[in-house]
Amino acid sequence: MGGLAFAAAMRNSRHDVTGYKQANELAELGAGISLWANGTRLFAEMGIASSMAERSCETDAAYFRNENGCLAASQRLARDNWYRQEYGYPYYGSFRTDLQAALLDIVGRENIRLGKQWYPNRGVIDGQ
């Protein structure tokens, strides 16, 4: 996901980019992710804030559990719009697939090369 986010940021800076991914497909893993203000600020700068707002939910609270599943900490986030006012951007709960889709909207699937690997000082090896 980091490489895709970097490619999207470069596209927003008006650079032509081509992304290389070792996997043979862009897997749509449905894992839930937390998107804190630092991330949602970057979404605004990248032009995908509205797309992520549509694909996510602004969460009321965050609960952190330890390895035994017991509550270790919690934080209220949306009461009186506190989190957004404090940090200037929302906290979202989302799915990895939704973030990937929003980033791919910027980069374009046609600019991602699958089944490729980058080797320092040797370039891209296509596995063919």
Which domain CATH number covers 72?
3.50.50.60
User: Mind listing the pLDDT tens digit for each residue in 78-114?
Assistant: 777 788 889 999 988 889 888 888 899 889 999 988 8
How confident is the model over 47-75, as pLDDT tens digits?
888 888 898 988 888 888 999 999 999 88
What are phi and psi for residue 6, nearest 5 degrees? -65, -45
List CB contacts of 24: < 8 A, sequence separation 6 or more: 114, 115
Torsion over CA: 93, 55, 48, 21 (sign): positive
Range of the domain at 30: 2-125
Q: How is residue 111 written in tokens?
A: 């600019």
Q: What total of structural domains would you count in the chain?
A: 1
